[in-house]
């Protein structure tokens, strides 16, 4: 019962995390600052890990979407909540988790899915690349069970 309550609280706190548009960082090169200003960060994207029809874990993804120079950054930022909603639906429909570990993702599959959904929401020529910045898991170090 306590584990279930802890899971509900954790998910409730993580779910409303907005899609953040990252601004220029402190210090660094001018080109690095310009590049980071053309990016949108997707924080705490919740990915379910389902094995044999049972939910066994959640993996949380932090990703950065690099936008193309022709994309209106302000318009993209305004669509951030639509992007987050579409991403949540997509990762629940199409699995992007690692086939052998309950606490890892298939990075190329996750990048491709995030880029595809971002292009649908923001426009077909809006995404240059997707970087998975970090992942975390509720249950660490578990191998997939058959």
pLDDT of residue 37: 78
Query: What is the rounded CA–CA span in Å between residue 59 and residue 13?
Result: 15
Given a contact cutoff of 8 angstroms between Cβ atoms, the answer to whether 117 and 126 are in contact is no
Helices (H), the chain: 2-14, 30-37, 73-78, 80-93, 107-122
Query: What is the rounded CA–CA span in Å between residue 75 and residue 78?
Result: 5
By three-state DSSP, how is residue 10 classified?
helix
pLDDT of residue 29: 47
Query: What DSSP state is assigned to residue 79?
Result: T
pLDDT of residue 138: 81
DSSP assignment string, 14-39: HTTPPEEEE-PPSSS-HHHHHHHHTE
Angle between helices 107-122 and 80-93 (to 10 degrees): 140
Residues of the chain with pLDDT under 50: 9, 16-18, 20-29, 146
Domains of the chain: residue spans and CATH: 2-137 (3.30.479)
């Amino acid at each position: 019962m306590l584990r279930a309550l802890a899971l509900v609280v954790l998910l409730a706190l993580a779910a409303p995390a907005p899609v953040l548009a990252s601004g220029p960082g402190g210090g660094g090169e001018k080109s690095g600052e310009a590049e980071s200003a053309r990016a949108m960060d997707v924080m705490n994207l919740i990915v379910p890990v389902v094995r044999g029809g049972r939910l066994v874990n959640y993996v949380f993804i932090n990703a950065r979407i690099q936008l193309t120079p022709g994309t209106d950054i302000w318009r993209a930022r305004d669509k951030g909540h639509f992007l987050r909603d579409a991403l949540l639906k997509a990762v629940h429909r199409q699995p992007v988790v690692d086939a052998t570990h309950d606490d890892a993702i298939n990075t190329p599959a996750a990048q491709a899915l995030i880029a595809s959904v971002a292009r649908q929401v923001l426009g077909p020529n809006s995404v240059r690349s997707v970087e998975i910045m970090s992942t975390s898991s509720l249950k660490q170090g578990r191998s997939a069970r058959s």
